[in-house]
Amino acid sequence: MDCLFCSIIEGTIPSDVVYENDHVLAFRDVDPQSPLHILFVPKVHVRRFSELSDPTVQTALFQAIAEYAQAEGLEEDGYRIVINTGQLAQQSVDHLHLHLLSGRQLQWPPG
Ligand code: DGP
């Protein structure tokens, strides 16, 4: 299977990894939309949000973000977590990923 994020998880495509646990890898987005822009991905290949059925991996993803945010001192200023799912949301990589955005004033509603 040809999947960009699987290749990053396997290490065959380089990335700037900032966090890892048994089920999750987190690395810097190659096209950052804020001063801090991290992608949290399940190590198992899951195409979309609705296809993530394993509660262990679901929990691990949220724990990973919470741990990272705490460790990086993001709680006070805040941050945003985004999941783009499908064509209308402009999901461009078919491997589930959670964007963590911080480091600037974010606008609402999103574009
Ligand atoms: P989305 O539009 O939600 O599918 O976001 C995909 C993100 O993946 C986008 O913000 C850019 C990022 N991205 C694409 N290719 C690479 C890559 O090769 N390395 C890294 N680190 N990020 C990538």
pLDDT tens for each residue of 86-99: 999 999 999 999 99
Where are the strands (E) in the chain, listed by range? 17-20, 24-28, 36-42, 80-82, 98-102
For the CA atoms of the chain, what is the radius of gyration? 14
Average pLDDT over residues 51-73: 98
Distance, CA 32 to ligand 1 centroid (Å)?
9
Q: Which of 23, 95, 97, 99 is catalytic?
A: 97
Model-wide pTM > 0.75: yes
Tell me which CATH code domain 4-102 carries.
3.30.428.10
The finding on whether 93 has its CB within 6 A of some atom of ligand 1 is: yes
pLDDT in tens, 16-47: 999 999 999 999 999 999 999 999 999 999 99
Structure tokens at 51: 């296809």
Q: In angstroms, rounded to a whole number, what is the distance separating the alpha carbons of residues 93 and 38?
A: 15
Average confidence score pLDDT of the chain = 97
Beta strands at 17-20 and 36-42: parallel, antiparallel or unpaired: unpaired
The finding on whether 87 has its CB within 6 A of some atom of ligand 1 is: no
Q: In angstroms, rounded to a whole number, what is the distance separating the alpha carbons of residues 67 and 43?
A: 17
> Domain locations in the chain?
4-102
Is 97 noted as a catalytic residue in this protein? yes
